């Protein structure tokens, strides 16, 4: 297994980059971060943002806060929130998707409604739901942080469930068409037995791939929602609350954007590595499809009738 991992350069590079980001954040936060204490309102307005210098390589924000320390200190907050949202999406969508795949022939009419979510931007849908919550009870939504973060988390989870459930359902349906699963059904295997013993083991690699892709989508959604005024904890809150500084003090959002970009790049590399690891003929099938060669076929690419 380790030899197979070492052969996939993108997976190794992505994991190394991810470890470096997390390691740098941990070491700086616990050993080198400057403790400036609580900033008074007077200091906040008197200490203007300073551009990058030898003392502050990434500059300071309003109040004299070092952007290097402040951004690295929010690494785990960003990842925790993204993991909670991604994990919530995956758990709910896996249950719904597996049921959808098992009963696909009866429920495929739902595709007509689910397809609509592919054409509505997720950011717009999340913004409308969050804005509606704020309109219904502004004082409760803005005055109670626990309620606000709970509702924000559930809304970000909910907007991705329909499309993700459909994807998992179709992967499950395709797995059900495998010859060995058809054979298990002929031998008298029940739905639950086939699902646990055959379907889930055959698609678990796909679930890992989907999870990694969802992490990227959630991080992007967090940034978009924060820019629209609903600040998500972590780097995206820096970007959303200071985007107006782009023309005045661009260094304030440069480092948070850089860190978010590196995180997304590392997850993209890991996703590509996982895809290659669990689906070795992916690149061969893609190049064959682009070149118009229909001679290369795979039984997992059977068409689904909508």
For residues 4 and 10, give the distance between their C-alpha atoms in angstroms, rounded to a whole number. 12
| Partner residues linked to 148 by β-bridges | none
Which of 26-35, 55-64, 278-287 is least confident?
A: 278-287
Residue-level pLDDT at 285: 39
Asked if residues 195 and 176 have their Cβ atoms less than 8 Å apart, the reply is no
Averaged pLDDT for residues 198-216: 78
**Residue 188 maps to a domain:** yes
**Residue 145 maps to a domain:** yes
**Residue 14 maps to a domain:** no
% the chain with pLDDT above 70: 73
Residue-level pLDDT at 26: 82
**Residue 59 maps to a domain:** no
**Residue 76 maps to a domain:** yes
CATH number, domain of 249, equals 1.10.3720.10
**Residue 186 maps to a domain:** yes
Summary mean pLDDT of the chain: 76
**Residue 87 maps to a domain:** yes
Asked if residues 298 and 285 have their Cβ atoms less than 8 Å apart, the reply is yes
Count of domains in the chain?
1
pLDDT digits (tens, 9 = 90+) for 226-270: 888 888 888 888 888 777 777 778 888 888 888 888 989 888 888
Residue-level pLDDT at 297: 42
**Residue 261 maps to a domain:** yes
pLDDT digits (tens, 9 = 90+) for 133-188: 777 766 766 677 777 888 889 999 999 898 888 888 888 777 777 766 666 666 66
Residue-level pLDDT at 3: 61
Domain that holds residue 272: 70-289
For residues 272 and 38, give the distance between their C-alpha atoms in angstroms, rounded to a whole number. 43
CA 195, 196, 202 angle in degrees (round to 5)? 75
């Amino acid at each position: 297994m380790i030899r197979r991992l070492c052969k996939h350069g993108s997976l190794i590079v992505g994991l190394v980059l991810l470890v470096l980001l997390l390691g740098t954040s941990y070491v700086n936060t616990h050993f080198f971060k400057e403790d400036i204490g609580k900033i008074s309102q007077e200091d906040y307005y008197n200490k203007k943002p300073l551009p990058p210098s030898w003392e502050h390589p990434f500059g300071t924000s309003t109040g004299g806060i070092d952007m290097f320390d402040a951004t690295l200190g929010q690494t785990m907050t960003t990842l925790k929130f993204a993991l909670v949202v991604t994990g919530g999406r995956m758990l709910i969508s896996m249950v719904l998707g597996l049921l959808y795949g098992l009963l696909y022939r009866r429920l495929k009419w739902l595709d007509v409604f689910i397809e609509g979510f592919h054409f509505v931007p997720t950011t717009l849908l999340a913004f409308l739901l969050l804005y509606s919550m704020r309109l219904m009870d502004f004082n409760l939504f803005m005055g109670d942080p626990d309620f606000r973060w709970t509702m924000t988390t559930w809304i970000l989870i909910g907007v991705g469930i329909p499309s993700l459930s459909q994807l998992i359902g179709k992967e499950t349906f395709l797995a059900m068409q495998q010859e060995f699963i058809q054979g298990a059904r002929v031998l008298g295997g029940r739905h639950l037995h086939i699902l646990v013993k055959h379907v889930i083991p055959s698609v678990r690699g796909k679930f890992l791939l989907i999870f990694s892709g969802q992490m990227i989508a959630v991080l992007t959604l967090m940034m978009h929602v924060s820019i629209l005024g609903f600040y998500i904890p972590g780097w995206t809150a820096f970007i959303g609350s200071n985007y107006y500084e782009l023309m005045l003090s661009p260094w304030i959002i440069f480092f948070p954007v850089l860190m978010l970009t590196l995180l997304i790049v590392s997850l993209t590399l890991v996703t590509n590595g996982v895809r290659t690891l669990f689906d070795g003929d992916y690149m061969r099938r893609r190049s064959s499809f682009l070149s118009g060669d229909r001679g290369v076929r795979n039984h997992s690419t059977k068409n689904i009738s909508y």
